[in-house]
């Protein structure tokens, strides 16, 4: 029962923290999307490129990131941003949930009292 609670707690914390871990890396270092290139860039389009398009309008400024895959001759394919973003979100979720579960397991081990083996009792 307690281990099920720990798993549920780890999943809920990871689900809550995952979007937060994506905002900063993608906004500051959009190159993280390039890590998904092996999943989306097939032959001969092997070179990942992340392009940031900044748009200014009456509502303010917005930035759109797009993953492109290029060949050595410069031909490109547009892979968009949603699928690479979802893959990164899933990877962040797995990493966070794993870290929380490992931490919970390690803290549980430290909290258990040492087990003392019962002495062999011989009756006559």
CB contact at 8 A, 96 and 13? yes
Expressed as residue numbers, the domain containing 28 is 2-108
Which pair of tokens denotes residue 3?
């281990």
Per the confidence metrics, is the pTM higher than 0.85?
no
The helix (run of H) or strand (run of E) holding residue 93 is helix 82-111
Q: pLDDT digits over 16-26, tens only?
A: 777 777 666 66
31 CB-near residues (< 8 Å, 6+ apart): 50
Cα separation, 28 vs 47, in Å, equals: 21
CA–CA distance from 77 to each of 49, 67, 105 (Å)?
10, 9, 45
Query: What's the average model confidence in pLDDT over 4-14?
Result: 75
Nearest CA-CA partner of 27 in 68, 61, 51, 63 = 63
| Domain count across the chain | 1
**Residue 123 placed within a domain:** no
Cα 104 vs. chain centroid, distance in angstroms? 19
**Residue 120 placed within a domain:** no
**Residue 114 placed within a domain:** no
Confidence of residue 78 (pLDDT cuts 50, 70, 90): very high
Query: What's the average model confidence in pLDDT over 51-70?
Result: 88
**Residue 54 placed within a domain:** yes
**Residue 53 placed within a domain:** yes
35 CB-near residues (< 8 Å, 6+ apart): 88
The helix (run of H) or strand (run of E) holding residue 55 is strand 47-57
**Residue 116 placed within a domain:** no
**Residue 50 placed within a domain:** yes
């Amino acid at each position: 029962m307690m281990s099920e609670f720990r798993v549920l707690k780890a999943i809920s914390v990871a689900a809550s923290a995952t979007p937060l871990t994506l905002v900063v890396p993608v906004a500051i270092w959009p190159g993280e999307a390039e890590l998904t290139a092996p999943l989306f860039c097939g032959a001969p389009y092997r070179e990942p490129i992340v392009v940031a398009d900044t748009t200014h309008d009456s509502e303010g400024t917005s930035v759109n990131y797009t993953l492109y895959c290029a060949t050595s001759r410069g031909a490109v394919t547009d892979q968009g941003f949603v699928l690479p973003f979802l893959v990164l979100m899933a990877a962040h979720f797995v990493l966070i949930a794993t870290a929380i579960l490992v931490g919970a397991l390690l803290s549980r081990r430290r909290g258990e009292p040492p087990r003392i083996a019962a002495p062999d009792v011989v009756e006559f």
